[in-house]
Amino acid sequence: MAIAAPANNEPRINDRIRAREVRLVAADGEQIGIKPLPEALAMARELDLDLVEVADKANPPVCRIMDYGKYKYEAAQRVKDSRRKSTNVVVKEMKYRPKIGTGDFDTKTRKVEHFLAEGHKVKVTIMFRGREMQHPDLGKKILDHVAEVVTDLGRVEVVPKLDGRNMVMVLAPDKKAQAAAAKRIAEEEAEAAGAAPSDTDTPAIEAPVSTDTPAVEAPVSTDADTPTASEAVDTDTND
């Protein structure tokens, strides 16, 4: 009696494989070649592993020796991580006023940078009131300034546009720009560290000590060689 195929579209493994012979792939990816099914099963059992049919449409089917339990676990983890990354993308919102002060602008824009660095999209909203609706260019100017400030972290995904009494713009994280900015900062820090003088690199300069020049003594005059004034007089008288 034929064995039913496994549910949930899982591949056939071990005794559920129905082909008489299979194209066998080793656990390390080596192509072993076409083997009878009993021989392929025996090779897998010798390694305490499973024989898994990875390409049932091929002729003969392709089977690989592997730890199927470990394979399923790792596949489930990859799916889980993929879902986590997709659900973690949250659209944050930051609201500005057309007449916002410099301090408030800087504070709000730092929060926008923080959101982008965490991988979130940011909806930047300019809220108009009363006659401010007559000057949409003021809101556009603020949005352009925000986009310029965060250029190392994000990019404009949705350009500024009016939405009722508001003007909105959507920013998205830019991983390439973030990587380039991080590299540039690291290079600047390395260059600054290399240019800074180090006290240990400059040897101390000592005053030169001369040992080659002997001390000069004053000449000493002896009385035996130099006649006195009285002796000079006596000599002239005798002549």
State the Cα–Cα distance between residues 37 and 13, nearest whole angstrom: 11
Query: Residues near 113 by Cβ (< 8 Å), separated by ≥ 6?
Result: 149, 150, 153
> pLDDT, tens digit, for every residue of 6-25?
455 788 889 899 989 999 99
State the pLDDT at residue 224: 44
pLDDT per residue over 202-238, tens digit each? 555 555 555 555 554 545 444 444 454 444 444 444 4
| H or E element, residue 87 | helix 68-87
What's the pLDDT tens digit per position in 17-70? 998 999 999 988 889 899 999 999 999 999 999 999 988 888 899 999 999 888
**DSSP result, 2-14:** PPPPPSTTPPPBG
Tokens of 13: 């493994």
User: What 8-state DSSP symbol labels residue 132?
Assistant: G
Strands (DSSP E) along 146-186, which ranges? Answer: 154-163, 166-173
Q: Indicate whether 103 pLDDT > 60.
A: yes
Q: What is the pLDDT of residues 120-174, one digit of tens each?
A: 999 999 999 988 889 999 999 999 999 999 999 999 999 999 999 999 999 999 9
pTM of the model: 0.47
CA 85 to chain centre: 19
Greater model confidence, 218 or 76: 76
**Given strand 21-25, what is the order of strands in its sheet?**
31-36, 21-25, 62-66, 50-55
Domain ranges across the chain: 14-74, 91-176
Contact assessment for residue 88 and residue 119, using Cβ atoms and an 8 Å cutoff: yes
CB 37 within 8 A of CB 21: yes
Task: Return the CATH architecture of domain 91-176.
Answer: 2-Layer Sandwich (3.30)
- Considering the four listed CATH numbers 3.10.129.10, 3.10.20.80, 3.40.50.300, 2.60.40.10, the one that applies to the domain covering 14-74 is 3.10.20.80
CA distance readout (Å), 184 to 188, 210, 221: 6, 53, 82
